[in-house]
Amino acid sequence: APRVFSGIQPTGGLTLGNYLGAMKRFVDMQDSGVETLYCMVDMHAITMPQDPDNLRRATRELAAGYLASGLDPKKSILFNQSQVPEHAQLGWIFNCVARMGWLNRMTQFKDKAGKNRENASAGLFTYPSLMAADILVYHATHVPVGEDQKQHIELTRDIAAKFNHDYGVDFFPITEPVIEGAATRVMSLRDGSKKMSKSDPSDASRINLTDDADTIALKIRKAKTDPDALPSEVEGLEGRLEARNLVNIYAALDDSTPEAVLKEVGGKVFSEFKPMLSELAVAKLSPISGEMARLMEDTAEIDKILGEGAAKARKIASPILDKAYDIVGFVRS
C-alpha cells in the first residue's frame, strides 16, 4: 500500500519555499486518502549548532505551521523525530550501508559545510543516512519534497537497493520522490538564480510564513524584476528568472499552473502584476500565520499532539526495525 512520509527541519523561520514546496503539498496528499506521516526532524536540526530553547520553540512552531496549513492529527501522523528512536536505530545500520563516496557527493553537505569541512559535524556528513532511515523505517513509498531534496531521495533509493542486495532480501521499497507543482524550487526575491532560503542573510530575499500583510506587500513590491511586460506564454519567460519565479509563486498559491496564470496576466507590467500577487499571497498566508500564533499560545496542546503522533509512528516503525535487526543478524531476546 502507498505510504507517504516527509519531514522539515525545525530550524526556525519557515519560508514561502517550505510552504509551497512542501507543506501545502503535504496537505494535498493527506486529503487524497493515503496514509501520511509528517515529521519535525529535530535530530537533523542539530547537525548544525542549535540553541536548545530555540530548538524547542522552532519544533513547536513548525508543528503549529503544519496544523495551521491544514494538517489534521486525525488524518496524518504528526510527530518530532527524536520521540521515535527507531529512526536513529535504523540510521546506524544505514551508516554502515552507505558508502563514503556516496555521501561525499551530496551537494547539501558541501553547501552547509562550506569551506571549513574539517570543522563540520560528523552528523552533517551522515545526515542522508538518517534521512533514508526516516523514510524507510515506515516502508514509505512516496516522499513529497522540493527539488533541492531530490539527491537525498536518490541516495535513499541507493541505500534501500544496497541493503536488499547485500542481505539477499526484498525488504525495503525503492521510494519515489514526489516533486510536483509550480513551486518545486521557489527562488530568492532578490536574485532569481538563488533558492529562497531561511539562511539567506537578506530577509528581503524571502517571505516568511510569519510575515504580516504589510511586510509581504513590501517584499513583493521590492522584489527584483525586469522592465518588460509579462508574456502570455511560458516560453516567453525563458531567461527571465525573476519573472518566472513570481509567476510560479502566483500559480502555486492559486492552485493553478504558470500557463493558466499567463493567459490571465500576459501583457501586464510588474507594477500591475505585483499588487495582484501581494493580494493573493496575503489572502493565502495571513490565515496561516494568524492560526500559528493562536496555536503557539497553548504549547501543551502541541506537545500532546506530537506525543500521540510519536506513539502511532512507533507502532509502524517498531516491527519494521525488528525485521531489519533480524536480517542484519542482531540477537533480540
Query: How is residue 89 written as a grid cell?
Result: 536505530
Least distance from ligand TYM to the Cβ atom of residue 277, Å: 16
3-state secondary structure of 128: helix
Does 23 show up as a binding residue in the annotation?
no
Residues in CB range of 133: below 8 A, 6 or more apart: 87, 88, 89, 90, 91, 93, 94
Query: How is residue 78 written as a grid cell?
Result: 504528526
Using CB under 6 A as the binding rule, whether residue 148 contacts ligand TYM is answered as yes
Does 9 show up as a binding residue in the annotation?
yes
Using CB under 6 A as the binding rule, whether residue 91 contacts ligand TYM is answered as no
Using CB under 6 A as the binding rule, whether residue 7 contacts ligand TYM is answered as yes
Part of the chain binding ligand TYM (CB under 6 A), chosen from 17-25, 46-54, 211-219, 244-252: 17-25
Least distance from ligand TYM to the Cβ atom of residue 195, Å: 5
Chosen residue from 3, 60, 139, 195 binding ligand TYM by CB under 6 A: 195
Part of the chain binding ligand TYM (CB under 6 A), chosen from 16-24, 65-73, 226-234, 295-303: 16-24
- Count helices and strands in the chain by DSSP H and E runs: 14, 5
3-state secondary structure of 153: helix
Using CB under 6 A as the binding rule, whether residue 21 contacts ligand TYM is answered as yes
Count of residues that bind ligand TYM according to CB under 6 A: 26
Q: Is 274 a catalytic residue?
A: no
What is the DSSP track for 52-80? HHHHHHHHHHHHHHHHHHT--TTTEEEEE
What is the DSSP track for 202-254? -GGG--BTT--HHHHHHHHHHS---SSPPPSSGGGGTT-HHHHHHHHHHHHHT
Phi then psi for residue 176, to 5 deg, are -100, 130
Q: Is 162 a catalytic residue?
A: no
Does 11 show up as a binding residue in the annotation?
yes
Chosen residue from 146, 192, 258, 309 binding ligand TYM by CB under 6 A: 146
Q: Is 304 a catalytic residue?
A: no
Using CB under 6 A as the binding rule, whether residue 302 contacts ligand TYM is answered as no
| β-strand partners of 208 | 15
CA distance 296 to 60: 7
Binding residue ranges for ATP: 9-11, 17-18, 146-148, 186, 195-199
Catalytic residues, by residue number, are 112, 195, 198
Contact positions vs ligand TYM (CB under 6 A): 5-9, 17-18, 21-22, 41, 44, 131, 134-135, 143, 145-146, 148-149, 152, 183-186, 195-196
